[in-house]
Amino acid sequence: SGDAPEADGALSVLRRVFGYDSFRGGQQEIIEHVIAGGDALVLMPTGGGKSLCYQIPALVRKGVGVVVSPLIALMQDQVDALRALGVRAGFLNSSQDFDERRLVEAEFLAGELDLLYLAPERLRVDSTLRLLERGTISLFAIDEAHCVAQWGHDFRPDYLQLSSLHERWPDVPRIALTATATEATHAEIASRLNLGDARHFVASFDRPNIQYRIVPKSEPKRQLLELLRTEHDGDAGVVYCLSRASVEKTAQFLVEQGIDAVPYHAGLDARTRAGHQARFLREDGVIVVATIAFGMGIDKPDVRFVAHLDLPKSVEGYYQETGRAGRDGLPSTAWLAYGLQDVVQQRKLIDTSEGDDAHRRKLATHLDAMLALCEAADCRRVRLLAYFGQASPPCGNCDTCLTPPKSWDGTIAAQKFLSTVVRLKRERGQKFGAGQIIDILLGKKTAKVIQFDHDALSVFGIGADLREGQWRGVARQLLAQALLAVEGDYGTLVLTEASAQVLGGQRKVTLREEPERPGRAAKAAKP
Ligand code: ADP
Ligand code: ZN
């Protein structure tokens, strides 16, 4: 590439081709390592600047850099952006017809490409492998490398066969990149991609400009609207919902409120999806309401907020999704509304999930870590970074740092709640969900209470000293602390082994106080 590529150092490529003055974070070390022919495993948060880590070595080394990426929808954009900089880039994926593919193949063989983007399934096709063998390859970059992790939510079976690249091309350096970074995923990537000798580069995962806030959910759409009106008027953002139905409902609600919002989920046809994504990327102030199908690889610098209306399944997922905010380094909000129903629903999803017990235990561990983050009374950022094995001092810019939640001794409240569950079971042979139990505690004579004669129970009305919202908080936190469990399809509550210790007075229960106005847990302070 260029006139004298071998003589062109990394820094001069950075300046001449990309127009940047200096490297960021660990980029320079990584780039030099790969230029020298070493394998690398790069863990860097979203927006950290992973692309240059393989693009520059591809330009400096002789031959074509082959980039494996699952993001077919973005390849055209990525290649166009590179071409605009004068980099000779092309791609091969299923969206092309025969002639388009032939053209790219001819360019590759003629040595007229610096970078070739490939969908992973292309490497299953023998003709692709034969094609690659006829050219000169400078490096293999494996983007979104966590797609090889089998229980991760982005698993792509085609990634498993990427381990064989090393056998076919033992002298070509490989660089695997991801923004997903627990120790476990990390190790799984290294082993599945056969990267035993690769050097690991782990960047700091702190995103100091993102303010993390987690609030109890009462009326999620209203709470979201308040957040948008008071702090993010006219800003671009992403709102994540668990189901397609709630994506549709939420988007429609926002539109009715005069907000420029579009839905995005896998149930929409490809053209609508592409259109909505394009509006989000190219226009100002568009809000995408989406399932987690949206976002991987989306590079929009000025996303000012990411809101979750449902609980993410894991801390990794939460970190990835919130990480799409604030790539430009300006103050941004990560806001999550979470409630009792989320815990019930997620536990149910795990119970009915496919896979063996070991898999279910793993999902439960992920959920528990997410719940611990939600119920944390100390700095969210400290918790989040600790999850990725990184230490940090309290940040001063998350909801718990700004408004430290008070904790209270909830032992008696917990005993009241748990003994209501016990009485229903022992005296009536019944199980109920949290709503009915709270109505009994509050002494509410609802139709359902009267129907089941629950006002005759000795526990009826024993919890009138707390508000309904406080009781919901008690139930949610008991579930989060595994002092209560969900059973069956209707979210009915049952005791756990640990509940007995609370009922017997051997175990104290410390709870977080519920805020009076849930949506307003903390007002944004500029970092
Ligand atoms: P990632 O893939 O890690 O999410 P990208 O490679 O898309 O991140 O980079 C994020 C943004 O930062 C891009 O807009 C990119 O152009 C910019 N960027 C990357 N490295 C540098 C640098 N050294 N100087 C300035 N901007 C950079
Ligand atoms: Zn903090």
Single pTM value for the model: 0.76
CA distances from 121 to 61, 379, 438, 492 (A): 26, 42, 53, 44
Of the listed ligands, the closest to the CA of 522 is 2
C-beta of 205 in contact with ligand 1 (< 6 A): no
Of the listed ligands, the closest to the CA of 19 is 1
pLDDT above 50: residue 7:
no
Convert 311-341 to b/e letters by CB count within 10 Å (16 or more is b): bbbbbbbbbbbbbbbbbeeebbbbbbbbbbb
> Which pLDDT band, with edges at 50, 70 and 90, does 2 fall under?
very low
Q: How far is the CA of 316 from the centre of ligand 2 (A)?
A: 18
The residue contributing the CA closest to ligand 1 atom 25 is: 20
Q: How far is the CA of 334 from the centre of ligand 2 (A)?
A: 13
Report, as an integer, the average pLDDT of 5-16: 80
The residue contributing the CA closest to ligand 1 atom 26 is: 20
CA distances from 93 to 101, 118, 121, 126 (A): 8, 6, 8, 14
Q: How far is the CA of 387 from the centre of ligand 1 (A)?
A: 25
Report, as an integer, the average pLDDT of 305-314: 96
Of the listed ligands, the closest to the CA of 397 is 2
pLDDT above 90: residue 396:
yes
Report, as an integer, the average pLDDT of 340-345: 89
> Which pLDDT band, with edges at 50, 70 and 90, does 516 fall under?
low
H helices, E strands: number in the chain:
21, 17
Mean predicted lDDT score pLDDT of the chain = 91
Report, as an integer, the average pLDDT of 375-389: 91
Relative to the CA of 24, which ligand 1 atom is closest? 23
Name the nearest CA neighbour of 307 among 365, 382, 221: 221
C-beta of 240 in contact with ligand 1 (< 6 A): no
Q: Which helix (H) or strand (E) holds 400?
A: helix 399-402
pLDDT above 60: residue 82:
yes
Relative to the CA of 14, which ligand 1 atom is closest? 23
C-beta of 47 in contact with ligand 1 (< 6 A): yes
- Which of residues 138 and 351 earns the better pLDDT score? 138
Strands 485-487 and 510-512 turn out to be unpaired
3-class secondary-structure state, position 502: helix
Per-residue pLDDT of 422-439, as tens digits, reads 999 999 999 999 999 999
Report, as an integer, the average pLDDT of 290-294: 91
Q: Collect contacts of 274-277 with beta carbons under 8 A, ≥24 apart.
A: 274/73, 277/73
Contact 98, 42 (CB under 8 A): no
Relative to the CA of 45, which ligand 1 atom is closest? 3
Q: Residues 59, 65, 66, CA angle at the centre, nearest 5°? A: 160
Residue 86 DSSP symbol: T
Radius of gyration of the chain (CA): 26
The residue contributing the CA closest to ligand 1 atom 5 is: 49
C-beta of 83 in contact with ligand 1 (< 6 A): no
C-beta of 178 in contact with ligand 1 (< 6 A): no
Relative to the CA of 48, which ligand 1 atom is closest? 3
Proportion of the chain above pLDDT 90, given as a percent: 72
pLDDT above 70: residue 237:
yes
Q: Which helix (H) or strand (E) holds 333?
A: strand 332-338
pLDDT above 90: residue 295:
no
C-beta of 155 in contact with ligand 1 (< 6 A): no
Name the phi and psi angles at 192, rounded to 5. Answer: -70, -30
pLDDT at site 4 = 43
Report, as an integer, the average pLDDT of 399-425: 95
Per-residue pLDDT of 241-270, as tens digits, reads 999 999 999 999 999 999 999 999 999 999
**ipTM surpassing 0.95:** yes
Per-residue pLDDT of 119-163, as tens digits, reads 999 998 899 999 999 999 999 999 999 999 877 778 899 999 998
Report, as an integer, the average pLDDT of 207-213: 96
Cα separation, 308 vs 118, in Å, equals: 32
Q: How far is the CA of 48 from the centre of ligand 2 (A)?
A: 21
Query: Mutation test of ligand 1: which of 52, 146, 204, 320 has the most ligand atoms closer than 8 Å to its C-beta?
Result: 52
The residue contributing the CA closest to ligand 1 atom 13 is: 49
pLDDT above 90: residue 291:
yes
pLDDT above 90: residue 357:
no
The residue contributing the CA closest to ligand 1 atom 19 is: 49
Q: How far is the CA of 389 from the centre of ligand 1 (A)?
A: 24
pLDDT at site 517 = 54
Q: How far is the CA of 333 from the centre of ligand 2 (A)?
A: 13
Cα separation, 317 vs 322, in Å, equals: 8
Per-residue pLDDT of 157-207, as tens digits, reads 999 999 889 999 999 999 999 987 677 788 899 999 999 899 999 888 899
C-beta of 51 in contact with ligand 1 (< 6 A): yes
